[in-house]
Structure 1
């Protein structure tokens, strides 16, 4: 009873009314009726005001603080809401808000650490799997030769070529990992120059024509031949972006399919779009295809080669150019990857610098 707001209010109200009665009794002109009425009013008003004060400004806020501390102790912060510090008559509410903000900040840190730990586990598992395949293949070929197959010249050359191919794949994987790590850590610097994006895309198409012809995939390039598509960017890195996107479009297309590369100019940008009519990407995979080693249909992707780092590198290169890669896909109909770069205005021949 004494630990509740009503109990404390009752005791304080009685004490105040008794003091008021004692004070009024010292005055000879105060009648007994006035004394009783004054005591009753004093008790009622004091009890009401003290109860409201204790209930809403003290006990309720203390209860909220206890409830919050219990949730923190149980690590159940799912229902905690972000409440900004507001002016309040109760200093306990401010304390509650501070504890609440602290708990949310710690929960965010815990969530970040958990995501980082999960990413680290997935990365270690992925890199172990990616490294294991070429290493085990090379070991198998080398040990077979050491067990006596080296005497057969035909078998020896066949196995050595296969071992070399596996080591080449391992080298590509390591180089891609180094490149991606350097980009994420900011070590790689971008060297911006002016160049014609159309000519760069033509070079990539010419390089991949042989691979496309093997699968009877048609490469179609759409642009305005009367235009120049001048941009300012890091040419080797943009070359790698286009190379990755067109390579993937050819690789994951069906035999006899088509890959359409279009270059369009807008007001201040140039847009490159790579469209294929292949197997497409399921909606649940679209958000993750730019993660390291993430593959759609991993078993089939492994057969087609690649390190699983190409799109992650593309994403980081474009972010370094203040751009981003966009993708839309329909399963069974194909995918569209696109990105934009700034359009550099051509300088007219008669434009000359004015003398100072």
Structure 2
């Protein structure tokens, strides 16, 4: 076993040294790049300090460059609209193309500084660009140097790194040969100790090796690997859900943004002259921005509930007065849809967040109103039983099909997509309800029949939610 372990040690050592050398090579280059960028930023700030932006910037830049800078470097001054107003290597910068789309320029205007590495269109060679916003905030001063300076340095130090790696490998192999017992002895000790643990473990199938010392280690490792795999599967599932969530959120935001842009462009270009039509467009823009605001608020609420980061203030919430308040808010909507609201509530209180309880009930009542018909009804009944709070919201509206009932609590799922969007729904209402219920370790039940209505029954513990440690 000692010989096999030694061979594996040499292989692993070789790989480790190769990886270590690669990382060293990478980080040395990165540190050098950072050093060069820092020096360039200092130069940019000095140029910014020296420039009189009210004067002839082209003349000033040429003088500064000739007096204090390397001939391979380049200084460019760019206005906030992307126009190049001065360049140390171009006599007539006004003929240069707009630079507002350059990565380093965009970053500098947005964040104060920016950088990029790419081939210069005007010089035809690879350049390192560093830019910073001017002190007055109206310009960006950019400096560029040939990127080959960094590459030449890295090529120069490669033989040194290679020699150092070779020496380290040779010394390590000699030490490994002389002290291989220090590897096998701990393995034997671990095998004996893990054998003691093995007796307490249930049966577990694992791959057997020709080295008996590794069998117990393998068994335990395989068991831990199975547990890790289960966690990885869960993480992968959560990652997929998160990706779908952001994909759907982007899609949902795209529609109102496109609408707002369309209305705004028509108004901006002067195609709409009629005042009534203008007012209608302004109203539509406000409506779409309200839809975006509601969607963003709902997304934030779900994200905080999932991350257990919701800012929750617990208090004794009296459901009766809360329900009265919700009905008062919902009455105008119910009147618009010609739907009657009914409530029956026994005197009951719960230790919870008043804001979350309002959100929970309001979402269900709002759905009951909007997915109903003229002359329809929405009933809300609240009662307590066996230390549990029950909230039942029932309507005689359009109902939900069996197929849709399994998915109504998913994010952005809509039973009637056209109708939901027309009414300004975000597709997150029932998902928020489900998350709030789960936050309080409760449950929600849906009973519905297409064309006859729906009934949501929520069960929550009356005592304060206990947070898992």
Shorter chain as denominator, the TM-score bin is 0.5 to 0.7
Q: Secondary structure at the match of 2:411?
A: coil
Q: Which residue of 2 aligns with 1:351?
A: none
Quickly say closer, same or farther: Cα 1:106–1:320, change in 2 above 3 A.
closer
Q: Secondary structure at the match of 2:446?
A: strand
User: How far does residue 232 in structure 1 lie from its aligned partner after superposition?
Assistant: 1.9
The TM-score, its normalising length taken from structure 2, stands at: 0.49
Q: Which residue of 1 aligns with 2:406?
A: 287
Instruction: Please give the per-residue CA displacement for 1:76-103, whole angstroms capped at 9, x wherever unaligned.
Output: xxxxxxxx84399x97898997687577
Q: Secondary structure at the match of 1:149?
A: coil
Instruction: Please give the per-residue CA displacement for 1:292-335, whole angstroms capped at 9, x wherever unaligned.
Output: 21222323322232111112222222222232322222222221
Residue of structure 2 aligned with 1:170, choices 292, 297, 307: 292
Runs of 4+ in 1 over 4 A off after TM superposition: 90-107
Q: Which residue of 2 aligns with 1:133?
A: 255
Provide the rounded CA distance (Å) in 2 between the counterparts of 1:111 and 1:341: 30
Q: Which residue of 1 aligns with 2:361?
A: 242
Q: Which residue of 2 aligns with 1:276?
A: 395
Q: Secondary structure at the match of 2:253?
A: helix
Q: Secondary structure at the match of 1:221?
A: strand
5+ residue gaps in structure 1? 1-83, 345-356
User: How far does residue 242 in structure 1 lie from its aligned partner after superposition?
Assistant: 0.8
The TM-score, its normalising length taken from structure 1, stands at: 0.64
Q: What RMSD, in angstroms, separates the aligned Cα atoms of the two structures?
A: 2.9
Q: 1:109-258 maps to which residues of 2 (within 5 A)?
A: 111-112=233-234, 114-149=236-271, 151-224=273-346, 228-258=347-377
Quickly say closer, same or farther: Cα 1:289–1:194, change in 2 above 3 A.
same
Provide the rounded CA distance (Å) in 1 between the counterparts of 2:367 and 2:299: 18
User: How far does residue 125 in structure 1 lie from its aligned partner after superposition?
Assistant: 3.1
Provide the rounded CA distance (Å) in 2 between the counterparts of 1:139 and 1:171: 16
Provide the rounded CA distance (Å) in 1 between the counterparts of 2:306 and 2:386: 31
Provide the rounded CA distance (Å) in 1 between the counterparts of 2:310 and 2:238: 23
Provide the rounded CA distance (Å) in 1 between the counterparts of 2:299 and 2:204: 52
Question: Is this contact kept in 1: 2:437–2:443, CA < 8 A?
Answer: yes
Provide the rounded CA distance (Å) in 1 between the counterparts of 2:255 and 2:208: 63
Question: Is this contact kept in 2: 1:149–1:156, CA < 8 A?
Answer: no
The reply to whether residue 263 of structure 1 matches residue 382 of structure 2 is yes
Comparing 116-125 with 98-107, which one deviates more in the overlay?
A: 98-107
Quickly say closer, same or farther: Cα 1:167–1:338, change in 2 above 3 A.
same
**Larger RCO of the pair (alpha carbons < 8 Å, separation 6+):** 1
User: How far does residue 134 in structure 1 lie from its aligned partner after superposition?
Assistant: 0.7
Q: Which residue of 2 aligns with 1:326?
A: 445
Provide the rounded CA distance (Å) in 2 between the counterparts of 1:87 and 1:99: 11
Q: Secondary structure at the match of 2:443?
A: coil
Q: 1:83-94 maps to which residues of 2 (within 5 A)?
A: 85-86=202-203
Q: Which residue of 2 aligns with 1:61?
A: none
Task: Return the index of the structure with the highest Cα Rg.
Answer: 1
